[in-house]
Structure 1
């Protein structure tokens, strides 16, 4: 375990949101990548914004960040919090009260700041608002696909006033089909080629230091200034 004091001299960076699975998947390379990412976020003094769960890749990223002295802020829908505390929600109300006061809570063994929201869309909206440093995606299922695609769409439509980095870690080639699908959509005339610049796919060997690759990709991310739509008034519409 890294001594948390090793991060004390670094100035905090803009928070970054990680989208990933609440399960571990079938290969240990996914778990290793999640642990590597959490560690790199912490050691670079980059606060982690994530979905608030304590299981699967989601839990590993958070616990790794915490173990290395990082800051973690989970955003969790009320329905998931109630489910965590039993079918009848036993203990959920008192925990929500503590969370509402802005206190750090212990959610299934994870000590981190947790914000409870009403639903999934509210969750994504808050995650996006807090994640001024961008987004990193690890392997996951339908929810992960939807999250990374929606954030990309928000950059394209100018809902993000300034596009934010979106880094996709293709651990074990997991996201190769998604990258190919995006490129196919360009050839078919459904995506402007310049809009591919919103996404940065990162490949590497199975034993890569995925955390280091992710941080490098964030630093190197550049979007095409002509990409997307600008001038839409999302505040009043």
Structure 2
């Protein structure tokens, strides 16, 4: 996507849990509400639990469009949210990520666990390989992603990644900073 194209749809990767810091849930609420207010469609993992459910419920409450994608085997565990604008059930996680990615103009990663890390690294790797040029953001709520950024800087310093890797994603501390970048 060319850098000057308008962002009409954002893929959000985030935890299926709330985490221990109430600021994580507040950031998810703020992001969902802000996306709706700006008429930007939320694309996410279709769960109704944790930060996933929070961002979707906030987006819906503000009148926004939601596009959820969930593998069949996670319907019970992540409580598949069927009342979305668009609801897609896939066969597996790989298909889920592909459908989410293909329906978004930008990617944002809120705090989350191993799944969120895996999703972030997959789209980062695709960007590194030149497979896309969609903007990628880490929403670094109260420094949550600081250790990850330190690890990536360590990979670069240790010669396992080119310094250009840091140019492929942007770290923002707040939803307002994110929206200014979008």
Q: TM-score, normalised by structure 1?
A: 0.71
In structure 2, relative to structure 1, the CA distance for the partners of 1:59 and 1:123 (3 Å cut) is same
In structure 2, relative to structure 1, the CA distance for the partners of 1:171 and 1:187 (3 Å cut) is same
2:177 to 200, 213, 218: 213
1:144 to 112, 116, 121: 116
Alignment correspondent of 2:3: none
1:156 to 120, 128, 140: 128
Distance 2:136 2:81 in 1: 29
Indicate if the aligned counterparts of 1:117 and 1:123 stay in contact, CA closer than 8 A. yes
In structure 2, relative to structure 1, the CA distance for the partners of 1:106 and 1:177 (3 Å cut) is closer
Distance 2:58 2:135 in 1: 22
1:27-82 deviation digits (Å, cap 9, x = unpaired) = 11111000000111111111010000011100010011111111000000011125
| Aligned-residue offset at 1:217 | 2.5
| Aligned-residue offset at 1:111 | 3.8
Indicate if the aligned counterparts of 2:71 and 2:91 stay in contact, CA closer than 8 A. yes
2:166 to 192, 196, 206: 196
| Aligned-residue offset at 1:151 | 0.3
SS at match of 2:137: strand
1:88-127 matches, within 5 Å, as 107=82, 110-127=83-100
Q: Which moved more, 1:27-36 or 1:194-203?
A: 194-203
Alignment correspondent of 2:48: 54
Rg comparison, structure with higher value = 1
In structure 2, relative to structure 1, the CA distance for the partners of 1:55 and 1:106 (3 Å cut) is closer
Structure 1 unaligned spans of 5+: 1-11, 86-104, 204-209, 219-237
1:180-219 deviation digits (Å, cap 9, x = unpaired) = 111111111111111211110113xxxxxx322221122x
Structure 2 unaligned spans of 5+: 1-5
Indicate if the aligned counterparts of 1:13 and 1:47 stay in contact, CA closer than 8 A. no
1:62-115 deviation digits (Å, cap 9, x = unpaired) = 011111111000000011125568xxxxxxxxxxxxxxxxxxx963xx443210
In structure 2, relative to structure 1, the CA distance for the partners of 1:42 and 1:141 (3 Å cut) is same
RMSD over aligned CA atoms reads: 1.8
1:45 to 26, 31, 39: 39
1:15-37 deviation digits (Å, cap 9, x = unpaired) = 11000001111111111000000
Q: TM-score, normalised by structure 2?
A: 0.91
